[in-house]
Each structure stands twice: as structure tokens, then as C-alpha cells.
Amino acid sequence: MEKKSLKLPITLLVLGACWSIVYIIPFIQYIWYDPFQQFMNATNTQMGLLITIYGFGNVFGAPIGGWIADRFNYKYIYVGSVLLNGIFTLIFVMYPTYFMAILMWIGFAIASLLMNYPTHIKMIRDLTTDENQGKIFGMNETCIGIFNIVFNAVMMVFYMKFMEGVAGLKAAMISIAVLSFVLTAIAMIVLDNPKEKIAAERAKKAAEAKEKAAKKTNVVADFLMIMKQPATWLVAISIFAVYSFLTTLTYFTPYFTDVLGVAVTFSGGVAILRQHGMTLLGAPIGGILTDKVGSPSKVLLGVYTIGILGLGYLLVADAGVAAQLLIALTLIMSAAVYIGRGAYYATITEAGVSRNLTASTIGIAAAVGFSPDLFQFTLFGYWLDTLGTQAYTYMFIFQAVVLVIGALVALKILHIKKKNAQNACLVAEQTELN
């Protein structure tokens, strides 16, 4: 009984650690923007382009990975993603050229976005019932936040131990590679082998196919069916708005150094707290609110409102605003982002997506939802290279517009939900009369 009770938290911790480790290096500039730029000797535009290249993994990799995860033994796919992350990291450290970075970021996209992301969401959803989806995804984000802090703290220790600069960043990345290999072994031991579940799902699908005149399913048919569902696009836009918001917050790291003039180590520490520490607060609140309110769309509407108000303040604030106030404001907005991340996956259940199509649906939704990686980093980098500090004004306006669109989508979802509930009541009344 005790082993059973510990199984869920241990599994969540391992999954959180695996998720965290595969995204640290691909998104290293989130925390280590200035040191990584120095390491690569790259322009801001080139830095953004690297993420754009990586982002194509969402467009092509996530949908394919989702289809694969729904049909094959996803444990080995998932564990393999962690192993490849360590290998690609070591290769990049050994050959730190921009050309090699492009190749390795393509590799990271395969490991994290094709192999890890849709599989992770499927594994998390399968851990609990539909009634607890918000809570479990919130707990998942919390575990990710914990390990993001731990892994970035490890990187910070190695970075400072080796006199910072290029040598320090190399040591920091090697530490992540080693941890990836350790996690590979742990995940193989802890994570359940889903072969029995896969066999049961296949048997169920076979029975359903027989009842429906043995209708044959293929990849194209599956994708077309999922893409026709409004739920897929509603989830996609919800993810897009929140993720775009997170991307914009990333640029507060150079904002602190370029505009406020703070030290790299200080801005890095604030970035860790903003990027990962707020996960510990925002993600569980998002999950709890989603289950309590009964609608992730209502939670997301609140997130968008906070973001719009915060960005609006930054646009009209005087140049002499205290750095402490700006830091506090960004932490609040970051907490809102992670509240959104604790909520937007739960829209899958709210929209009525079948469990056996979870990974496929999230794969297609991810292609749209995480598309800011395709252009936002490159666009912001170009603005920084050409406009200097004026670029931050353009960033804030851009993001405010995206959040307004997200708010309109949330209102639309609530309208549809209300309409569907009314129709259900009418059907029930007619059934009683008959």
C-alpha cells in the first residue's frame, strides 16, 4: 500500500526531471542569454534564428511524435529522448561552432519535441482520472519547476567554479549532459512499461473497427479527423497565447542588463526565479483553479487580463521607475504565465478529446501553439539589433495584441460551452417528455 501511494509522486518527479533536462540546453538563452551569446559569438538575430530552427520541430515533429506515442511503446521513446539530449549536448560542447549549433538544435528538436513532448503529455494524462486533470497537470508543472531550479543552480555552480565566461558555460553544459545520462537510467527503472495498456487499447480499437465495418485507419485519416475538430484549434490558440507571453518574458533578462544596468549574475538569478521559481507558485494554483472553477478557459481569461494590464503599465511607465518595482511586476506576470500553463492542457478534457487521441491532438495543437519559436525570437532579435532599447516597446505592444486575441478566444470557448450545456438540457427535457 505504501509503495502504491509513493508511485504517483515518484513518477511525477521523474517525469518532471526528464522534461526539464531536455529543454534546458535548447532554451539555454532563456537564462544564460548574455554568456551564451558570448559563447557563440552571435548576433541577437542569430540567437533568435537558432530558436526558429528548433521551433520547426513543433510544426513537423510534434504531430508525428504524437501519432507514434499513441501507437507504440512510449516508455522507450521517452527514455530515448533523455539519452539523446545528453549525447547532443556533449557533441555541441566539443564542437561549439554556429554551424554545429544548427545541427544540434535540429537534433534537440527531434529529442524533445518529437520524442518527449507529446509522449510526456500522454503519460501525465494517464496518471489520473478526468476529474483531476487540472490538478495533475498543475503538479506536473510544479515538478518541472523544481528541477528547472535544481538544474540551473547546478549550471550556475559549475559556471562560477570555472571562472565564468566560455569555460564556465562549457562546464555548465557538461553537467547537464551527465545528468541526462543519470536520468536515462532512473527513468528506465521507475517508469511503467505500458505494453499491457497498449495491447488493451489496440484490442478496444480493433473491436470498434469491427463494429464499424472494419474501417481502416491511417496516418493521413487520423490527422485530417483531428484537424477537423474545433477543439484542436481552440487548444492550439490557448497554448499559443500563453507560450508567446512566456517568450516575451524571456527578454527581460537582457532588458535588466541593457536598460537597468544590472550584473549578469544578478539578472541570471532573477531569470531563474522568474522562469522557474514562479512555476512552483503558478502551476499548482493554475491546476487547482481549473478544477475548482471547472473551466480552464476562465482561468486563462484571468491570465490574459493580468498580462495585458502589466504590459500596458510598462508601456506608459516613466524611465525612472524603480528596478525593484519592474522586477516585482515581471515576477507577477511570470506567475500568471505558469498559472496558464497549469490550465491550458486541461482544455483537452474540457473539449472532450478522447484519451486514445491525446498525444495526436496535442501534437497538432503544439505545432500551432508553440509556433512563436518559429518567428518570435528572430523578430525580437532583429528589433534589438536594429532598434536598440526601443525594441522593448515593440515587444510589449506585440505581446499585448496576442493576449487580447487569446482573451477573445477564451470568451468564445466559454460561449460555446454555455451553448452546448443549454442544448444538453433541452435534449434531456425532450427525453423525459417522451
- Which residues lie below 8 Å from residue 192, measured CB to CB, with a gap of 6+? 11, 75
CATH entry 3.40.50.10300 includes domain 2-199+216-423: no
pLDDT in tens, 156-188: 888 888 766 778 888 999 999 999 999 999 999
For 160, how many CA atoms within 13 A lie in the half-sphere containing its CB? 10
**CB-based burial label for 201 (10 Å; 0-12, 13-18, 19+):** middle
pLDDT in tens, 91-127: 999 988 888 999 999 999 988 888 887 788 888 877 7
pLDDT in tens, 264-299: 556 666 666 676 667 667 767 766 776 777 777 888
CA–CA dist 145, 399 (Å, integer): 24
Judge whether residue 199 has pLDDT over 80: no
Q: How far is CA 174 from CA 18, 21, 145, in A?
A: 16, 12, 21
pLDDT at 357: 66
- Of 205, 227, 184, whose CA–CA distance to 356 is shortest? 205
pLDDT band of 354, cuts 50, 70, 90? low
Q: What is the pTM of this model?
A: 0.63
Average model confidence (pLDDT) across the chain: 79
CA–CA dist 149, 145 (Å, integer): 6
Ranked by mean pLDDT, the top range of 9-13, 129-133, 184-188 is 184-188
Judge whether residue 8 has pLDDT over 50: yes
- Of 61, 41, 64, 65, whose CA–CA distance to 53 is shortest? 61
Judge whether residue 139 has pLDDT over 50: yes
Q: How many residues does the chain have?
A: 434
127 within 8 A of 1, measured Cβ to Cβ: no
pLDDT in tens, 209-221: 555 544 455 566 6
- List b or e across 241-263, with b for residues whose CB sees 16 or more CB atoms inside 10 angstroms: bbbbbbbbbbbbbbbbbbeeebe
